[in-house]
Amino acid sequence: MYKTHHQYYLYILTNKTCGTLYIGVTNDLERRMFEHKNKLVEGFTKKYGLYKLLYFETYQYVNDAIRREKNMKKWKRQWKIDLIEKDNPNWKDLSKDWSYVLE
């Protein structure tokens, strides 16, 4: 069965409180977090063990999410921390209790 996606996500990961930050975009946040947590994604996130979801935004159009990602990657680190801590002051893993039922 073909699954249509109507949402895209910009997300920020880390490995620990005040640790390394990673910004990415996906059309399936649950699947992507499963991949990060199980080290199935080669590259930066696997190398640094980034698997804690700190923050995400939802977009209807992929171009909007990508534009935001590119813009945010230019931000100073403190701006990213301020954005995270506005809604997630304790750096809680927002995906900790997800069931990860994959199709």
pLDDT for res 90: 95
Count of structural domains, the chain: 1
Q: Which domain holds residue 61?
A: 8-87
Q: Is residue 93 part of a domain?
A: no
Q: Strand, coil or helix: what is 54?
A: strand
Task: Assign residue 42 the CATH number of its domain.
Answer: 3.40.1440.10
pTM to 2 decimals? Answer: 0.90
10-residue stretch averages of pLDDT, the chain, 103 residues long: 72 95 96 93 93 97 97 97 96 88 53
Q: Is residue 94 part of a domain?
A: no
Q: Is residue 1 part of a domain?
A: no
Q: Is residue 25 part of a domain?
A: yes
Sheet holding 8-14, edge to edge: 22-26, 8-14, 52-59
